[in-house]
């Protein structure tokens, strides 16, 4: 085990915490509030933000889409540059927060912001940002990652930089009260797969990482089983905190990580507009079956410690069935149906995208080649 770990995001958790933002945003800031399609106007979050920002110089940028596009975000970059904005406040789900991270970095770069996504420009500075979370799922509110799409080429790509990690994040479970059922399910599934990507690899002897990952997985199962009672403060708070902890960097410290499900899933979103979390549920069971031999030990550990299964020769197989059963129990499909119905055409379109994006050897062993991905897709595309 060898790592350096720091999570510098100051978290304000609980009801009414939006009011705290004026204790952390410097009073002389020129703030740009960034949000999405307007859900924050329906749940009172926008009004709470406006109240907390009384006395500040602030303006807003709305219209950041789910799976944010560089085409939209670049308009905000122009505003930041023209108006001399000094602080960004993201109010929304992962898309708004990721988009704001891009704006923060691209605003201090003279070239084409997409260079950040291609790696042609390595971020060296960013405008400070804070986040008010309204959809627990991605963990973006307290991590250094962001995923942005170039609509023109259907390219969904990520970047990581410590400079875009939010200075603070408000996690008020009340903001979730207006979440549609579909997004609540997406939150459960995305958080679940984040833990799996850092856990179902090969044994590395990380007792803290494994133990904490297992606790999070058991929480998510319990919240899924209790989905009918989701309109409760405790349900909302526990999903919000679990999803945050699933991808704030801690459980991945010093252990192998996979992320192949995410990389392939991003292509499903870029090509067929599949919700992020749902792209993962489509790919993951088939990917685990494809990689079962190298992942057998961790799948067996998960079967016993998370699902309470008993030992047997086919324990790893039964654990994958239980994972798939978790999705089906939530009515989340595990087959791609969003393409035009031509299976082989869809598979070759996805493979072409992966090849173009250099995603030709994925997973903790770089063993998921395009040939393996084809086999994975054969069982995931209907
Ligand atoms: O735009 P608004 O009107 O706010 O509506 C949103 C959007 O339509 C709505 N919503 C959010 N909070 C709401 C609400 N509706 C009612 N009440 C509320 N309280 O939900 C819809 C989806 O929002 P979005 O932000 O797109 O969802 P999510 O949080 O799942 O984010 C997905 C994006 O994050 C990326 C994904 O790839 C995708 O682009 N990811 C980011 C990661 C990271 N930064 O670490 C890791 C993840 O693996 C993921 O890749
Ligand atoms: Zn995810």
Residues of the chain with pLDDT > 70, as a percent, come to 100
**131 phi and psi, to 5 degrees?**
-130, 140
Residue 334, SS3 per DSSP: coil
Task: State mean pLDDT over 332-348.
Answer: 96
Compute the distance between CA of residue 118 and CA of residue 294 in angstroms, rounded to an integer: 31
Q: What pLDDT score does 280 carry?
A: 99
Pairwise CA distance, residues 163 & 47, whole Å: 29
Q: What is the pLDDT of residues 141-184, one digit of tens each?
A: 999 999 999 999 999 999 999 999 999 999 999 999 999 999 99
Average pLDDT over residues 21-29: 98
How far apart are the C-alpha atoms of 296 and 79, rounded to whole Å?
51
**CA gap 18, 8 in Å, rounded:** 19
What does the alpha-carbon distance between residue 189 and residue 183 come to, in Å, rounded to a whole number? Answer: 10
Which residue among 44, 65, 147 is best mutated to probe the pocket of ligand 1, counting the most ligand atoms within 8 A of its Cβ?
147
Mean pLDDT of 73-88: 98
Residues contacting 44, CB < 8 A, separation 6+:
none
Report pLDDT for 72.
Answer: 98
**Residue 36 CA to ligand 1 centre (angstroms):** 9
How many whole angstroms separate alpha carbon 27 and alpha carbon 238?
A: 33
How much distance in Å is there from the Cα of 136 to the middle of ligand 2?
11
Residue 334 has pLDDT above 90, yes or no: yes
At 375, the pLDDT band (50, 70, 90 cuts) reads very high
* Helix extents (H) in the chain: 39-42, 45-52, 70-83, 94-106, 114-118, 181-199, 207-225, 233-246, 260-272, 276-290, 292-305, 315-329, 343-356, 370-378
Residue 139 Cα to ligand 2 midpoint, Å, equals: 8
pLDDT confidence tier of residue 340, bands split at 50, 70 and 90: confident
Cβ atoms of 34 and 61 closer than 8 Å: yes
- The average pLDDT across 187-205 equals 98
C-beta 198 within 6 A of ligand 1: no
3-state secondary structure of 356: helix
Q: What pLDDT is stored for residue 341 in this prediction?
A: 87
Average pLDDT over the chain reads 98
Q: For 106-123, what is each residue's pLDDT tens digit?
A: 999 999 999 999 999 999
Flag whether the pTM goes above 0.95: yes
In the prediction, which pLDDT does 162 show?
Answer: 98
Domains of the chain: 10-175 (3.40.50.1970), 181-380 (1.20.1090.10)
How many Å lie between the centroid of ligand 2 and the Cα of residue 199?
14
- Ligand 1: nearest atom to the Cα of 269: 37
Evaluate if residue 216 carries a pLDDT over 90: yes
């Amino acid at each position: 085990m060898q790592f350096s770990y720091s999570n510098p995001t100051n978290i304000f958790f609980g009801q009414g915490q939006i009011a705290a933002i004026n204790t952390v945003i410097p009073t002389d800031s020129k703030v740009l509030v960034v949000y999405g399609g307007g859900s924050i106007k329906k749940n009172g979050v926008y009004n709470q933000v406006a109240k907390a920002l009384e006395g500040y110089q602030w303006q807003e940028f709305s219209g950041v889409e789910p799976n944010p596009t560089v085409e939209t975000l670049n308009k905000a970059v122009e505003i930041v540059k023209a108006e001399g904005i000094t602080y960004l406040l993201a109010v929304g789900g992962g898309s708004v927060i990721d988009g704001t991270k891009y704006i923060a970095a691209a605003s201090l770069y003279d070239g084409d912001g997409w260079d950040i996504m291609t790696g042609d420009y390595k971020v060296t500075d960013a405008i400070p940002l804070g986040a008010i979370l309204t959809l627990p799922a991605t963990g973006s509110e307290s991590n250094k990652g962001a995923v942005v799409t170039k609509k023109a080429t259907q390219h969904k790509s990520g970047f990581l930089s410590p400079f875009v990690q939010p200075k603070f994040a408000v996690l008020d479970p009340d903001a979730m009260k207006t979440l549609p059922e579909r997004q609540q399910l997406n939150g459960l599934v995305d958080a679940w797969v984040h833990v799996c990507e850092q856990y179902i690899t090969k044994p590395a002897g990380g007792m803290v990482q494994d133990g904490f990952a297992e606790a999070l997985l058991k929480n998510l199962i319990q919240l899924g089983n209790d989905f009918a009672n989701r309109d409760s403060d405790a349900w909302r708070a526990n999903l919000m905190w679990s999803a945050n902890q699933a991808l704030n960097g801690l459980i991945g410290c010093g252990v192998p990580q996979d992320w192949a499900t995410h990389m392939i899933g991003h292509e499903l979103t870029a090509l067929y507009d599949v919700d992020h979390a749902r792209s993962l549920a489509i790919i993951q069971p088939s990917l685990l079956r494809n990689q079962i031999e190298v992942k057998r030990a961790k799948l067996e550990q998960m079967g016993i410690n998370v699902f309470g299964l008993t030992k047997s020769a086919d324990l790893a197989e039964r654990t994958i069935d239980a994972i798939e059963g978790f999705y089906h129990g939530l009515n989340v499909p595990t087959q791609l149906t969003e393409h035009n119905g031509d299976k082989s055409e869809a598979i070759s379109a996805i493979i072409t995208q992966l090849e173009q994006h250099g995603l030709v050897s994925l997973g903790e062993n770089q063993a998921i080649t395009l040939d393996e991905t084809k086999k994975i897709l054969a069982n995931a595309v209907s």
